[in-house]
Amino acid sequence: MKHIDVNETIDNASFTPFHWKVLFWCTLIIIFDGYDLVIYGVVLPILMDQWALNPYVAGLLGSSALFGMMFGAMGFGMLSDRLGRKKTILMCVVLFSLTTVLNGLASNPWQFGLLRFIAGLGIGGVMPNVVSLMSEYSPKRSRSTLVALMFSGYAVGGMMSAGLGIWIVPNYGWEIMFYLAAVPMLLLPLMMKFLPESVAFLMAQNRHEEARVLLQKVAPERQIRGEDELVVPPVKEQKAPVLELLRGGRTLSTLMFWTAFFCCLLMVYALGSWLPKLMSMAGYALGSSLMSLMVLNIGAIVGAVGGGWLADRFSLRSVLVTFFMLASVSLVLLGYPHPMWLLYSLMAVAGATTIGSQILLYAYVAQFYPASIRSTALGWASGVGRNGAIVGPMLGGTLLALALPHQMNFLALAVPGAIATLAIALVGRRLGASQPAAEAGAASNG
């Protein structure tokens, strides 16, 4: 009989078809999430005309889903530590898919906003759990790359939303964009069959046989037998997992993660909600305005995958600091006249370093905290960050209502990037004392 260290086995496993399966399903779920992120920006110009919305109300509607995402991220993040990743993910997919379809039936702004809020609960809840699941099953040497690759599905979903919107919205109406959200429901039986449960959760529930089967798929070369004993480092029972985020020398890092999430999501959702309208007000046709969202999300894919690759070779902290600096610079420059090729290039850089940075932030948090509080850490970072996502669309609406010069709108969006740069530079630090061993290891990874 052998004693098999579960964490060591996963960390040092070779990439197998099982990893491809986890990557595929987690990425697919994130694609649906990204589709919903961009869908409001796609239909916003039409809704403002059809329902005679002023910029303030339009900004509030844009934030309604984000209020739901804030509560969903925190609530479902903690719930999954008790119910398991898989069950929580499936619950969230049903919630956001069904209510998004119903959103297409809304006949006034208030119905629309309420349904967007409910959908947001599921959208926000699914995100920390798929990140946690992907992080848990990824080999250590390629963890940042795989999480970033999975999260690039966020940008793929955004591209799908913008691309379909260019064709569907002018010809068939905005409602069809929401009806298409039924696709995840159709795939639910396959998700139930192929999406694996967390090994850490199975071990905590004493479901050792199920954990052994999954671990054999993760590392078939280990030839794990039925009589072998699986072991994991002992975890102290935590009655208040949120407080654990502030213990063990993690207080400053946790607060800085929350600050960075807030600033990053503010930029992402302000751009996602208002970029087509800003372009439209600058004199571009609807198709060209929606193309700006396509370019933004193409850049996001490059930023996410490229950033993950760089992070596995350097560090997540240094890559994120660089990305946030570039985000601020590109947003400032977008406020000035440029040739179209340069304008689109700046949009791609902005997408790579805002949406791309959001993706890398999830990877950083997932690696920084121990497995026992990982979903809680992701849920709370995402949940606190959702306040930035809520502020973003409302800030965009306020800036448009004030009728400021074009460059001032983008300058206002660049300020959070500078704040996030400083916040990430402070992650892993501990003022006035040396770092504890556990945090120092996480900081060296990041």
Pairwise CA distance, residues 309 & 142, whole Å: 8
Entry pTM: 0.71
Checking if the pLDDT of 327 tops 90, the result is: yes
Pairwise CA distance, residues 74 & 92, whole Å: 13
Instruction: List, for residues 177-196, the tens digit of each pLDDT value.
Output: 899 989 989 999 999 999 99
Pairwise CA distance, residues 234 & 26, whole Å: 28
Pairwise CA distance, residues 115 & 432, whole Å: 48
Q: What pLDDT, on the 0 to 100 scale, is given for residue 145?
A: 78
How much is the average pLDDT of 263-276?
82
Which residues 6+ apart lie within 8 Å of 252 measured at CB?
A: 426, 427, 429, 430, 431
How much is the average pLDDT of 317-342?
87
Pairwise CA distance, residues 323 & 425, whole Å: 12
Checking if the pLDDT of 10 tops 70, the result is: yes
Share of the chain above pLDDT 90, in %: 18
Instruction: List, for residues 12-60, the tens digit of each pLDDT value.
Output: 888 888 889 999 999 999 898 778 767 877 787 788 888 888 877 887 7
Q: How confident is the model at residue 283 (pLDDT cuts 50, 70, 90)?
A: low
CATH of the domain at 255: 1.20.1250.20
Instruction: List, for residues 296-313, the tens digit of each pLDDT value.
Output: 888 888 887 888 788 878
Instruction: List, for residues 113-159, the tens digit of each pLDDT value.
Output: 899 899 989 988 888 788 888 888 888 888 777 877 887 787 788 78
Checking if the pLDDT of 287 tops 90, the result is: no
Q: What pLDDT, on the 0 to 100 scale, is given for residue 227?
A: 65
**Range of lowest pLDDT (162-166, 276-280, 338-342):** 276-280
**Range of lowest pLDDT (8-17, 173-182, 255-264, 267-276):** 267-276
Instruction: List, for residues 209-249, the tens digit of each pLDDT value.
Output: 888 888 888 878 777 766 667 776 655 544 556 777 877 77
Pick the closest to residue 47 from 159, 144, 133, 174 (CA basis): 174
Three-state SS letters, 93-155: HHHHHHHHHHHCCCCCHHHHHHHHHHHHHHHHHHHHHHHHHHHHHCCHHHHHHHHHHHHHHHH
Q: What pLDDT, on the 0 to 100 scale, is given for residue 434?
A: 39
Q: What pLDDT, on the 0 to 100 scale, is given for residue 438?
A: 39
Q: What pLDDT, on the 0 to 100 scale, is given for residue 365?
A: 87
Instruction: List, for residues 387-437, the tens digit of each pLDDT value.
Output: 887 888 778 778 777 777 777 878 888 899 999 999 999 887 665 443 443
Pick the closest to residue 297 from 39, 56, 101 (CA basis): 39
**Range of lowest pLDDT (258-267, 268-277, 330-339, 343-352):** 268-277
Share of the chain above pLDDT 70, in %: 89
Q: What domain count does the chain have?
A: 1
Pick the closest to residue 379 from 172, 110, 76, 114 (CA basis): 76
Residues of the domain holding 415: 3-234+241-445
Q: What pLDDT, on the 0 to 100 scale, is given for residue 228?
A: 67
